[in-house]
Amino acid sequence: MRIRSLLLWAALAVPGVGFAQEGPGASYLTTTPLQSPAGEPALGTHHRAAVKQAIQASLAGNHEAAIPVLTEAVRYCDAQQQVPGRKALSFQSHRQYALYMDGPGRGTPTEWLDMACANAYTHLGYIEIERGDIDAALRWLDKAIAVAPYDVEPLCEKGAALTRRKDWQGSKASYDRALMLARSQPENRHMEALALRGVGFAHIELGELENARASYIASQKLDPDSPTAKQELAYIEQLQQEQRR
């Protein structure tokens, strides 16, 4: 399977929900800068405004101003996770916290961390992708995924990081997990179309064109105003025509 140009990697962007928009520049082609929903307030909410401002500064191109603020937040979040005798995890809502405590967290004391923690880890991962350090990005993103078990955004960002590495199987696995959470968690329903596009992209690179087509058609039904599914479906048709020759 030949590799598409970077221009087609813009298919991973989702207009209108805080992800990279179509436009000039290189970085938006492969990553999805995030402005996560704040969620319900919890332990660490005092970092929320600073994390939000840092993310906005980073998305405006000022990573150096954002990093110390995000680092201060994750220092606090790390400390909360190191308190002996309990876990500390980020949830978007009381519903998610109750779901966790009735399931995998049953019997384990668990402190509810504000989503500022997960957002800070995730955005530090995004910054490292922008810098081209995928190993460092994955370390931050894995921390975000571990601290926020129901959050879709770090999984999508990890999928984008693995796409940069051309690890199609790893990227698909991350987007598959994101898709499962988008469909099962009402707080993440708005992420389903993005996750489907990520899955579809990986299917194309793996040569699984019919699976890719199904993913893009499903994403198009959810997000009919996005041009990317239409573009990718045209690309799939082009590849299939070449195969038939």
CA triple 108-114-117, angle to 5 deg? 95
In terms of residues, how long is the chain? Answer: 245
Distance separating alpha carbons of residues 62 and 128, to the nearest angstrom: 13
Provide φ and ψ at 239, rounded to 5°: -65, -40
Average pLDDT rounded to a whole number, residues 80-84: 97
pLDDT given at position 13: 43
Q: Is the pLDDT of residue 6 over 50?
A: no
Of the candidates 1, 203, 26, the one whose C-alpha atom is nearest the C-alpha of residue 10 is 26
Of the candidates 137, 127, 192, 190, the one whose C-alpha atom is nearest the C-alpha of residue 163 is 137
Distance separating alpha carbons of residues 32 and 85, to the nearest angstrom: 36
Greater pLDDT, 75 or 26 = 75
pLDDT given at position 225: 87
Q: How far is CA 74 from CA 71, 114, 147, 190, in A?
A: 5, 11, 11, 26
Per residue in 66-79, pLDDT (tens digit) is 999 999 999 999 99
Distance separating alpha carbons of residues 118 and 215, to the nearest angstrom: 28
- Residue whose pair of structure tokens reads 């004391």 in the numeric block: 109
Q: How far is CA 99 from the centre of its chain?
A: 21
Distance separating alpha carbons of residues 231 and 215, to the nearest angstrom: 13
Per residue in 104-160, pLDDT (tens digit) is 999 999 999 999 999 999 999 999 999 999 999 999 999 999 999 999 999 999 999
Of the candidates 52, 3, 6, 11, the one whose C-alpha atom is nearest the C-alpha of residue 25 is 6
Q: Is the pLDDT of residue 161 over 50?
A: yes
Distance separating alpha carbons of residues 235 and 243, to the nearest angstrom: 13
3-state SS, residue 207: coil
pLDDT given at position 82: 97
Distance separating alpha carbons of residues 172 and 17, to the nearest angstrom: 21
pLDDT given at position 39: 87
Rg (alpha carbons) of the chain, rounded to whole number: 18
Greater pLDDT, 162 or 1 = 162
131, two tokens: 């810098």
Per residue in 53-69, pLDDT (tens digit) is 999 999 999 999 999 99
Q: Is the pLDDT of residue 33 over 70?
A: no
